[in-house]
Chain A
Amino acid sequence: MTGDPVVAALDDTTVDVLRLDDSLLTSGELLEGVELESCPEFESWLLVERRRISGEIEARLRQQAIGLLAGGQVAGAIPFAAKAVAVNPLEQGNHELLIRSLASRETGPARCGKSRCVRNCSGTNWGSR
């Protein structure tokens, strides 16, 4: 990092957060474990950035999953849908996408069992029953 204003010279280096599509499935929270209590302004910035990047990752995960599902690559869609659920478990649409992916892959008794389980869970957790 040099100059004023300070520029990070990253000519020969890749930063995962600048190339989200390459690390969608392996991504975690931005700067996980970095908490600077003595720098409240930085903490506020970090909180906002974490939300922003998490939202962007979630959107891309959903986009990938939907694209793969539409293209008939069901097995490929499941990890993206599952990761979307992990990133934001309170978003009903993510669960629906995962269920749709799983249901598209499975047939017969396994599908019936999982769908029934999902119905039970979703009815309980989402307050529809």
Chain B
Amino acid sequence: MIGELFKTVSKWAPPPAGTQSPTLWGTEEHLVELFGDRVEWMALAKREYVFRYHSPKHFAEWFMDFYGPITRLAGSLDGEDYRHFATELADVPRAFDLRGRRHGRGARGVPGGGRRTALTRFDTPGDTGGLMRGGVRSVPLIRLLGAPVVEKPGRQPRGKKAWGLLGYVVLSERPPSRRRLAELFFAMPRIHLALCAGRWPSSDGRSAYLSC
């Protein structure tokens, strides 16, 4: 459906010559062509995303209000052109929801189709961002300098306290005791007792403590 949306928009604002459709990123062939054997494929699965709007008109209004490129295009139109463009946008979900399925309370859903992909990068010689050079597979990286992030597909620590705790443990000269961490981060007797009893969360801090 997104492909049809882009097609509709391109009638009003043609893309630069030679530009490839971004929907190609939803095809396995294109991904393989782009990345080839420079990455290790961890997951390549087709997933369906359902666009939920109250009506085709609501769909058109939402994209014209909030989707940058379409908002800009709509802002450059006036009068009859604006209405015509809105109608064409609304026709896109209509064409995909012929069965009139309804999803949720008063919402109409259109399956968009898509691909969810996970891959691991292999560093190549000359790549200054990598940890290892010469085609050696890079290991997962925890970034604590700058906005903290774990550069690995999967769950990220949630909350500032979890990040603070991770940073403290990593940078401590000696492994800190549970008692010390409890004093530092959670000055609460119940949590302190839970920590001392050995119930320690695997990755995420606070929620696990509070459920002890």
A binding-site residues for B, Cβ under 8 Å: 1-8, 10, 12-19, 22-23, 25-36, 39, 41-42, 45-46, 49, 53, 57
Number of chain B interface residues as a range: 35 or more
Chain B residues within an 8 Å CB radius of A4? 177-178, 196, 198, 200
Distance of A1 Cα from B131 Cα, bound (Å)? 23
Further pairs besides A8-B166, A31-B148: 16, Cβ < 8 Å = A1-B165, A1-B166, A1-B201, A4-B198, A8-B169, A13-B139, A15-B141, A17-B145, A23-B143, A26-B145, A29-B146, A30-B167, A31-B167, A33-B160, A45-B168, A45-B184
A18, B170: Cβ atoms closer than 8 Å: yes
A-B contact count (CB 8 A): 119
* A19 engages B184 (CB within 8 Å): no
B178 — which chain A residues lie within 8 A by C-beta?
4-6
A-contact 0/1 string along B178-192, CB 8 Å cutoff: 100101110100000
User: Is B140's CB under 8 angstroms from A13's CB?
Assistant: yes
Which chain A residues lie closer than 8 Å to B181 at the CB level? 6
CB distance from A93 to the nearest CB of B (A): 22
Chain A residues, Cβ within 8 Å of B152: 13
Interface of A is mostly: loop
The interface centre, meaning the residue of A28, A39, A46 with most chain B CB atoms within 10 A of its CB, is A39
Q: Is B147 in contact with chain A by the CB < 8 A criterion? A: yes
CB within 8 Å for A15 and B170 given contacts A6-B177, A41-B184: yes
Chain B interfacial positions (CB closer than 8 Å to A): 128-129, 131, 139-148, 152, 160-161, 163-171, 174-178, 181, 183-185, 187, 196, 198, 200-203
B142 touches A7 (CB 8 A): no
Are A6 and B169 within 8 A (Cβ)? yes
Q: 7 pairs across A/B with beta carbons < 8 Å?
A: A1-B202, A8-B169, A14-B141, A16-B142, A31-B148, A45-B168, A46-B164
Q: Which residue of B lies closest to A5 (CB)?
A: B175
Contact (Cβ within 8 A) B142 A14: yes
Give the distance in Å from the alpha carbon of A23 to the alpha carbon of B146 in the complex.
11
